[in-house]
Amino acid sequence: MEILNRKAKFDYEILDTYEAGIVLKGTEIKSLRMGNANIKDSYAIIKNNEAFLLNMHISTYKQGNQFNHDETRTRKLLLHKKEIYKLRDKVEMNGYTIVPLKVYFSKNYVKVLLGLGKGKKNYDKREAMKKRDTELYLKKMTKY
């Protein structure tokens, strides 16, 4: 089960990627296994030399009753210290953003693929759309 952030590659120019673990509660894991999550509007921050994921929406688990979690709570990311320092320096100095690209299971652990990206301008987005449309058109033409 993978949860993708398709909008991230359209809105940001991704320069580097990092794999991080994430601290979750029991009902969040069960809900993720069912695929009830959304990372479209989420982003990561570095605070007190720790990484956190904000605005990740994980729906409540229906059978969780009193043990259910808050859907958009701040979740801690598990990264090496060197990676955290590297990300912190890039975000503070160069104005980059840390966006989650996908959430997936690796063995029994939930992992988040983080992308270090710089926001695209509107003309860059139009150029990407034009390129995608021409590639689709050429693909259709070669099919016939």
Decide: pTM greater than 0.85: no
* Predicted confidence (pLDDT) per residue in 96-122, tens digit: 999 999 999 999 899 999 999 988 888
The CB-side HSE value for 50 (13 A sphere, CA atoms) comes to 10
User: Could you read off the pLDDT of 79-102 as tens digits, one per residue?
Assistant: 999 999 999 999 998 889 999 999
Distance CA 122, CA 5 (A): 19
Q: What are the structure tokens assigned to 92, written together?
A: 């503070």
Query: From the CB of residue 52, how many other CB atoms can be counted at a distance below 10 Å?
Result: 17
CB 21 within 8 A of CB 15: no
Residue 65: is its pLDDT beyond 80?
A: no
Q: Please give the average per-residue pLDDT across 20-47, as a whole number.
A: 90
In whole angstroms, what is the distance from residue 127 CA to residue 28 CA? 39
Domains of the chain: 2-143 (2.40.280.10)
